[in-house]
């Protein structure tokens, strides 16, 4: 390595070491390191949006890679949703480069119009990142979701009528969101507050992209964010809210225990797991257990990434239980057929 490059590398390493002398940054980093400790991997990918949270994640990840001698890959997506998106992606890349981080820009090329553009853009962002992950043999992609996101998502799902599982599932640190890619999302900042991440960004890179949609009241998330601020005046605290989430999570785990028991005792895989046979006792459990059990089976066997809408599953259950002449129908890439007293689920070809 040339002397100039060696000197630049040493300077960058010293920058991170000096920043970790700050007690507050060191404390936040310790949480981050502990959250990653359970995942035995020498490669990680970082999704960087350029926002304050993701820039803090980039800082923490870079120090972690230096300390542990790990290999990190950084990606930012030019989503083309705003006229300034390309400029912002380039600014993010250039800013990170100053601190020894090589960030690759991935561009989403829309070939048609979508009704739910925000959701489709999020889906495509992950697809682009996952494709690059697999190319680099990386199976864990880190995102900057933090504690405030947890509470905002709770209220968003509450307003949309989510059940117990939906209200507590966001607490999972590791999640697979796309069946086509053997890549898991990791959220190592879920127990860290946004204000702490803002502190890191201001006192390290001192750069972040300001998303104008964060001030747009037309978006539900912004309305919920303001609602939470108002509820603070009536005594809502993050500490109290955390207790509520923990209680919901305990209840959810109890239900999952009985769902797993129902699947284990009353179903059987056939044809190298291409079909499932359900016996008559499967449907004799409490309604929520039956609903979740069937939802899991459809998700495992079907061809969709997300879970099937609850209303469709409930209609199917009622049809199977109450229609004496029930024979056959399809849902989410699965075929349901009644044979004697059992139901056979097979994947649509």
Q: Are residues 193 and 331 located together in one domain of the fold?
A: no
What is the reported pLDDT for 4? Answer: 62
Give how far Cα 29 sits from Cα of 19, 24, 65, 100, Å: 11, 9, 12, 18
Contact 106, 129 (CB under 8 A): yes
**Residues 192, 121 share a domain:** yes
pLDDT of residue 111: 65
Residues 161 and 301 in one domain: no
Q: How would you classify the pairing of strands 174-175 and 184-186?
A: antiparallel
Query: Looking at residue 137, what is its pLDDT?
Result: 95
Structure letter (DSSP) for residue 163: -
CATH number at residue 183: 3.40.50.620
Q: Do residues 217 and 261 both lie within one domain? A: no
Same domain, 42 and 13: yes
Same domain, 258 and 193: no
CB 209 within 8 A of CB 219: no
245, part of any domain: no
Answer yes or no: do 284 and 191 share one domain. no
Q: Which two tokens stand for residue 338?
A: 């009644």
Per-residue CA distances from 214 to 23, 143, 147, 176, 317 (Å): 30, 18, 17, 27, 41
Q: Is residue 248 part of a domain?
A: no
Among 237, 284, 279, CA closest to 258: 284
Q: How many CB atoms lie within 10 A of CB 245?
A: 16
34 and 154, same structural domain? Answer: yes
Which one of 204, 236, 268 terminates a domain?
A: 236
- Look-up of token digits 């100053």: 98
Are residues 301 and 225 part of one domain? no
Question: pTM for this one?
Answer: 0.86
pLDDT number for residue 235: 86
Within this chain, do residues 129 and 264 fall inside the same structural domain, yes or no? no
Residue 62 C-beta-side C-alpha neighbours within 13 Å = 28
Q: What is the dihedral of CA 254, 256, 257, 263, to 10 degrees?
A: 150
Q: 290 and 160, same structural domain?
A: no
Residue 195: the pLDDT is 95
Residue 135 inside a domain? The answer is: yes
CB 93 within 8 A of CB 55: no
Structural domain of residue 144, as residue ranges? Answer: 3-236
CATH of the domain at 268: 3.30.465
Question: What distance separates the 2 farthest-apart alpha carbons in the chain?
Answer: 82
Domains contained in the chain, number: 2
- The domain boundary, picked from 179, 201, 236, lies at 236
Q: Is residue 243 part of a domain?
A: no
* Predicted confidence pLDDT, tens digits, the chain (349 residues): 566 666 778 899 999 999 999 999 999 999 999 999 889 889 999 999 999 999 999 999 999 999 999 989 999 999 888 889 999 999 999 999 999 999 999 998 876 666 666 777 888 899 999 999 999 999 999 999 999 998 888 888 888 888 888 888 766 788 888 888 999 999 999 999 999 999 999 999 999 998 777 667 777 888 888 888 888 888 888 888 888 888 998 999 999 999 999 999 999 998 877 899 999 999 999 999 999 999 999 988 876 767 788 889 999 999 999 998 999 999 998 999 999 999 999 988 7
User: Tell me, what's the pLDDT at 79?
Assistant: 86
Q: Are residues 59 and 122 in the same domain?
A: yes
Residue at which a domain ends, from 203, 236, 269: 236
Task: Tell whether 332 is covered by a domain.
Answer: yes
pLDDT of residue 21: 96
């Amino acid at each position: 390595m040339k002397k100039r490059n060696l000197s630049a590398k040493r300077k960058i390493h010293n920058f991170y070491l000096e920043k970790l002398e700050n007690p507050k940054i060191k404390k936040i980093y310790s949480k981050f390191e502990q959250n990653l400790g359970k995942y035995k991997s020498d490669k990680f990918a970082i999704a960087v949006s350029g926002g304050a949270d993701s820039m803090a994640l980039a800082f923490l990840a870079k120090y972690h890679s230096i300390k542990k001698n790990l290999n990190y890959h950084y990606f930012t997506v030019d989503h083309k949703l705003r006229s300034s998106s390309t400029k912002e992606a380039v600014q993010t890349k250039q800013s990170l480069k100053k601190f020894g981080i090589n960030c690759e820009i991935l561009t989403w090329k829309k070939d048609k119009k979508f009704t739910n553009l925000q959701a489709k853009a999020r889906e495509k962002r992950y697809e682009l990142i996952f494709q690059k992950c697999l190319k680099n043999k990386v199976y864990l992609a880190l995102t900057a979701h933090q504690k405030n996101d947890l509470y905002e998502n709770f209220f968003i799902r509450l307003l949309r009528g989510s059940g117990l599982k939906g209200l507590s599932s966001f607490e999972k640190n590791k999640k697979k969101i796309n069946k086509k890619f053997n890549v898991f999302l990791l959220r190592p900042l879920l127990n860290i507050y946004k204000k702490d991440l803002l502190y890191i960004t201001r006192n390290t890179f001192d750069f972040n992209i300001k998303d104008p949609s964060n001030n747009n009241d037309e978006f539900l998330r912004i309305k919920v964010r303001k609602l939470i601020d108002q509820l603070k005046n009536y005594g809502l605290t993050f500490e109290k809210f955390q207790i509520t989430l923990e209680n919901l999570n305990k209840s959810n785990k109890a239900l999952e225990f009985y769902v797993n028991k129902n699947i284990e005792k009353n179903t059987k895989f056939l044809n190298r797991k291409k079909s499932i046979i359900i016996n008559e006792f499967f449907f004799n459990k409490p309604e929520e257990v039956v609903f979740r059990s069937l939802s899991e089976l459809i998700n495992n066997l079907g061809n969709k990434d997300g879970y099937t809408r609850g209303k469709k599953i409930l209609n199917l259950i009622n049809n199977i239980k109450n229609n004496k002449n029930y024979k056959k129908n399809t849902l989410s890439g699965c075929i349901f057929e009644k044979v004697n007293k059992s139901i056979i689920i097979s994947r649509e070809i």
